[in-house]
């Protein structure tokens, strides 16, 4: 049984998430259903505190839905407001569904005849130069985040230098053959949650051996507040030892402390999470290494984000 993984493709995703960044999140109305005659409503946004719609809505364009038996589903009733998007997913097959977004791309800088260029999202109308036609889409600018800054030209907000728009290409394939000083980063990441209807299933958690992967020991829809949850992280199929994992409970605005836990995986890539209360939790891990899949890139930034519902015992 191949479980559902809903993939939500935006331009690319910001993978290293500092405390002040606007973190992307998906918030389901529920993750545990008793039967298959129901739907789940999902909010999608970006904000400094998870699940608080106060900064930016995420686009739901390109969402795909995979059911536990491997068949394709579809989102319903999609809408976008200022601070969040919403959509429904009909849960009409038993088992565990995987719902989320998968993003990737390449961004960075290079030089042509000594002048700085970049791979990224062009702002404003298309300009001339390699790869200019139809260059609205970047190879690595994050959804809701600015792309990489360049090193020339005045006029950027806050006095930050900004590159000549004619020196921006849409993808790594558009980099001229005579380019030098390449400094490119490949970004790959996933943001998801899980829904079980009736008896949960675990077929969807089989690792692919590519990138940063989440392999739960405790099923994500079986979490209760009086029992720890255990999860394993892999990088290219091997244990991700020493990986920092951040866990933040929802409802920060109603607490004096945000309740953030910063944990590290052991030698086997395992992390154990204690749940101080029932509710929705935002889990995030990110990692940078020097093993990109594209030979023109020198770095790879990987990120994994999940929304987990913890129930009262």
Per-residue confidence (pLDDT) for residue 231, from 0 to 100: 98
Burial class (CB in 10 A: 0-12, 13-18, 19+), 126: middle
Tell me the pLDDT of the chain (313 aa) as tens digits. 333 333 333 333 333 333 446 789 999 999 999 999 899 999 999 999 999 999 999 998 877 788 888 788 889 999 999 999 999 999 999 999 999 888 889 999 999 999 999 997 654 433 333 333 333 333 333 333 333 333 344 444 444 457 888 999 999 999 999 999 999 999 999 999 999 999 999 988 999 999 999 999 999 999 999 999 999 999 999 999 999 999 999 999 898 888 999 999 999 999 999 999 999 999 999 999 999 999 999 999 999 999 999 999 9
Distance of CA 21 to the CA centre of its chain: 13
CB 107 within 8 A of CB 117: no
pTM of the complete model = 0.81
Can you read off the two tokens belonging to residue 181?
A: 């000083």
Q: CA-to-CA distance for 278 and 177, rounded, in angstroms?
A: 55
Per-residue confidence (pLDDT) for residue 163, from 0 to 100: 81
- What stretch of H or E contains 216? strand 212-216
Domain ranges of the chain: 4-103+187-310, 105-185
């Amino acid at each position: 049984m191949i479980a559902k993984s809903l993939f939500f493709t935006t331009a690319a995703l910001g993978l290293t998430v500092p405390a002040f960044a606007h973190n992307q999140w998906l918030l389901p109305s529920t993750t545990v259903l008793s039967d298959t005659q129901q739907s789940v409503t999902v909010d999608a946004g970006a904000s400094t505190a998870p699940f608080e719609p106060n900064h930016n809505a995420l686009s739901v364009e390109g969402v795909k839905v995979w059911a536990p038996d491997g068949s394709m589903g579809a989102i319903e009733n999609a809408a976008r407001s200022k601070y969040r998007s919403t959509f429904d997913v009909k849960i009409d097959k038993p088992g565990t569904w995987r719902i989320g977004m998968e993003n990737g791309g390449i961004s960075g800088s290079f030089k042509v005849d000594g002048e700085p260029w970049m791979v990224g999202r062009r702002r404003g109308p298309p300009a001339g130069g390699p790869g200019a036609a139809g260059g609205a889409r970047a190879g690595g600018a994050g959804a809701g985040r600015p792309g990489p800054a360049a090193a020339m030209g005045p006029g950027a907000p806050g006095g930050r230098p900004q590159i000549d728009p004619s020196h921006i290409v849409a993808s790594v394939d558009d980099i001229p053959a005579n380019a030098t000083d390449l400094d490119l980063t490949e970004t790959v990441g996933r943001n998801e949650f899980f829904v079980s209807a009736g008896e949960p299933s675990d077929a969807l958690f089989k690792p692919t051996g590519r990138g940063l992967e989440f392999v739960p020991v405790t099923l994500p829809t079986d979490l209760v507040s009086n029992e720890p949850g255990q999860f394993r992280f892999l990088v290219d199929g091997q244990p991700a030892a020493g990986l920092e994992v951040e866990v933040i409970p929802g409802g920060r605005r109603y607490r004096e402390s945000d309740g953030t836990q910063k944990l590290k995986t052991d030698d086997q890539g395992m992390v154990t999470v204690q749940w101080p209360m029932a509710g929705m939790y935002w889990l995030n891990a990110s990692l940078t290494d020097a093993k990109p899949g594209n030979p023109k890139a020198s770095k790879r930034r990987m990120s994994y984000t999940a929304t987990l519902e913890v129930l009262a015992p």
